[in-house]
Structure 1
Amino acid sequence: MAASPTACPVPAADAPRRYGPWAGLALSVALAVGASELHRLPALGWASPLILAVVLGIALNSVRRQPVASLPLFAPGIALVMKRLLRIGVALLGLQITLGQMQALGWSGGALIVGTVAATFVFTLGCGHLLRVEARLTRLIAAGTSICGASAVVAANAAVEGDDADVAYAVAMVTVFGTLSMLGFPLLAGLIGLGDHAFGLWSGVAIHEVAQVIAAAYQYSPQAGEMATITKLARVVLVVPVVFVLLLALPTRSAGQVGPTRSAGQVGPTRSAGQVGPTRSAGQAVGAGRRVTIPWFALGFLALVGVASCDILPPVVLDGVATVDRWLLTVALAGMGLATAPAALVRRGGRPMLLAALATVFISLFSLGGVLMMG
């Protein structure tokens, strides 16, 4: 029976108990479907559904005074997709990578990937300090730029524990500048006369998102596309050691480093209601006088790389898992968008955008220099 009309907010507050996570989950899935359909349009084929899902969520919030994720009816479901589905999706990425693919790059290609990721990460941290960009946002931009875009941002946030607005802003930055790289790399490569192998290696090492890498490299040539895909997937593996380094290097929120609070202008669910970063209460190791959580999704990622490398799963299973994984990540990023207020992004100002731009220029030039030295 429908509830009687009332000015009292009690019915809205009781909604999560009546509906559980279903309302928020259904809305996130609907936005993921919309993002996938938009991706099919020729004009938006270069943009991955993950990015479009974030944009749709933020766009929906732009017509409201408060984010959808702040509504009691939707908060439990949005917290579920941002916390559980996101980590499952990141772990399943491991099935798309094999040790054989990484061996195909050779020692020189592997050294270029590791060196570029490390140098870009350190450079971005240094620039963030000089520009006085908030430390947690700086680390998320560093992870997204140096490793693999949106997936790296959300994976690194397990250690960084940034607010929802930090994650959404970092995703937005790697999307904008990764798109510019996707469009500019083929033009620049043509001017300097890069061969197919060299361009594939360069784009795989330097462009942020997997979809952006594929779009740029296959536009150049099929051979460049194949090389870029292998390079990019090998680069994705580095998200795991980066997460572990951040976990060991950063103090936890409970240890006193709390970052921005949610007392005013809250963007999404609070940490107690549906936190994005993991709590530090389970699976902990002791180090430097504090306890550090080892994220289960990182271990799962490594385990699934091993499974994929054993070649025991048929291609139809791997293709099916890859499809499911794309959907999980798209739904999760839709939830991230629903937890982000556009005003929160605008308030960040120009310095984080300048930081992302400088990081993109650095990774582009550093990796190009390495490719040219390799001949």
Structure 2
Amino acid sequence: MTTTEAVSPAAAPRDHDLGSGGRGRAQTIVPGLAVAFVVAVAATLLGRQVPVIGGPVFGILIGMAVATAIPVLRHDRWTPGYGFAAKPVLQLSIVVLGTGLSLQQVVKVGTSSLPIMFGTLAVALGGAWIIGRLLGLDSDTRTLIGVGTGICGASAIAAVTAVIKPKERDVAYAIGTIFTFNIAAVLLFPPIGHLIGLTGQSFGLWSGTAINDTSSVVAAAYSFGSNAGPYAIVVKLTRSLMIIPIVMGLALLKARHERKQGADTGSLKWKQVVPLFLIGFVLAAAADTVGLIPGSWHPHLSDLGTFLITFALAGIGLGLRFAQMRKAGPRPLIMGGILWICVATTSLGLQALTGKL
């Protein structure tokens, strides 16, 4: 493989690298992992300066830019470390983020808000399947954009990526699409909310169910004012819980598909249906629910979780190439735009039907 060829961040270490056991593996992954770490630090610092975009998105963008500008970083000696960042680190980030998601928050928002969350999620996932097929997008791209739009942006994409193992370019399409409409939502939602006369609670419910990433939900809700921010955060965190059944369902479907494709006809292993990182996520949220995690730890754990997901996306970005993204053309962006509009209007429509506007 030449240094000008596209490489995969998930590429496995070569056999001779692993021959000396754990030490050999560590030496194999350290170079690429170190590069991903440096990119993640830079992305985190930049994300603090531009919180509307956030560190995770900067992670994948800077990673792509660095790998493009420095050809030697595209050599296969770096890819095992990129792959370690893109998989184990990614899974660890999901577990850590679970510590800030108390299961009691579902009760706090009240059952009256659940129909709106379920409705927008159904529109996002169903719309992704229908619109994506009409546009000729592959299954993984449709799934990633659908869950990113319907649940929690880059975090949902990261969780699903750990299960379905899509191509790196599909992750890039999804991240780029979500990023584009996060920015649009932050700029457009507050003035539209004031124009149509939304209250703080109704705007919080709208932004919490119709904007992708948590950082963008917070930015839009606090820009709107009228105490929309706290309500939007609770709605958004509750919405994030939907990633649990979605990831479990996708894990089950993938396991069944792999069994049909392979020669092994044995019974389905529980690890294929319920990934270990998802169990860790639920246990972390449960620990927070029962008070095992001190409140003073929450800001630090949130920062750590965000950094780890930035670290993971930096690894993915370092293995991506802008040329790969250009091959997709405008179709992922068109799909994301249609889904974004459908989810936003569905949220408002369901609020009107339930008397919340």
TM-score after normalising by structure 2: 0.86
List per-residue Cα deviations over 1:92-133 (Å, max 9, x = no partner): 221111122221111111221122112221111111112211
CA contact (8 A) 1:15 1:73 kept: no
- Corresponding position: 1:242 with 2:284: no
Moved more, 232-241 or 151-160: 151-160
Cα separation, 1, equivalents of 2:101 and 2:287: 10
List per-residue Cα deviations over 1:140-195 (Å, max 9, x = no partner): 11111111011111211233321111112111111111211121111111110101
Deviation at 1:220, TM superposition (A): 1.0
Moved more, 360-369 or 214-223: 214-223
1:184 counterpart residue number: 188
1:24 counterpart residue number: 32
Change in 2 beyond 3 A, CA 1:32/1:310: same
Deviation at 1:65, TM superposition (A): 5.7
List per-residue Cα deviations over 1:294-332 (Å, max 9, x = no partner): 211112111222111112321122332222212111111
2:198 counterpart residue number: 194
Q: Give the letter for the 2:154 counterpart.
A: A
List per-residue Cα deviations over 1:200-255 (Å, max 9, x = no partner): 11001010011110111111116111111111111111011011222233454574
1:346 counterpart residue number: 326
1:228 is aligned, of 225, 232, 236, to 232
CA contact (8 A) 2:178 2:336 kept: yes
CA contact (8 A) 1:95 1:305 kept: yes
Cα separation, 2, equivalents of 1:129 and 1:145: 17
Aligned length: 331
Cα separation, 2, equivalents of 1:349 and 1:171: 15
Cα separation, 2, equivalents of 1:89 and 1:282: 30
2:129 counterpart residue number: 125
2:208 counterpart residue number: 204
2:306 counterpart residue number: 326
1:87 counterpart residue number: 91
For the residue of structure 2 that corresponds to 1:62, the secondary structure is: helix
Which 5+ residue runs of structure 2 have no aligned equivalent? 1-13, 19-23
1:36 is aligned, of 44, 48, 54, to 44
Give RMSD over aligned pairs. 2.4
Cα separation, 1, equivalents of 2:279 and 2:267: 14
For the residue of structure 2 that corresponds to 1:347, the secondary structure is: helix
Q: Give the letter for the 1:248 counterpart.
A: L
Matches within 5 A, 1:92-111: 92-111=96-115
2:340 counterpart residue number: 360
Cα separation, 2, equivalents of 1:157 and 1:26: 22
List per-residue Cα deviations over 1:46-85 (Å, max 9, x = no partner): 111011111101111332568x3x5233222211111111
CA contact (8 A) 2:209 2:239 kept: yes
Moved more, 221-230 or 207-216: 221-230
1:51 counterpart residue number: 57
Deviation at 1:372, TM superposition (A): 2.7
2:269 is aligned, of 276, 279, 284, to 284
Q: Give the letter for the 2:29 counterpart.
A: P
2:10 counterpart residue number: none
Deviation at 1:370, TM superposition (A): 1.6
> Quick check: which one's helix share is greater?
2
Q: Give the letter for the 1:60 counterpart.
A: V
CA contact (8 A) 1:139 1:160 kept: no
Matches within 5 A, 1:67-82: 68=73, 70-82=74-86
Which 5+ residue runs of structure 1 have no aligned equivalent? 1-12, 258-280, 286-290
CA contact (8 A) 2:48 2:55 kept: no
- Corresponding position: 1:62 with 2:68: yes
Q: Give the letter for the 1:358 counterpart.
A: I
Matches within 5 A, 1:306-325: 306-325=286-305
Cα separation, 2, equivalents of 1:230 and 1:173: 25
Q: Give the letter for the 2:108 counterpart.
A: A
List per-residue Cα deviations over 1:328-360 (Å, max 9, x = no partner): 111111111101111100001122221111111
Q: Give the letter for the 1:59 counterpart.
A: A
Q: Give the letter for the 2:167 counterpart.
A: D
Q: Give the letter for the 1:284 counterpart.
A: K
CA contact (8 A) 2:90 2:309 kept: yes
Change in 2 beyond 3 A, CA 1:65/1:354: farther
- Identical counterparts, % of pairs: 28
Change in 2 beyond 3 A, CA 1:283/1:329: farther
Cα separation, 1, equivalents of 2:65 and 2:191: 32
2:352 counterpart residue number: 372
Change in 2 beyond 3 A, CA 1:231/1:314: same
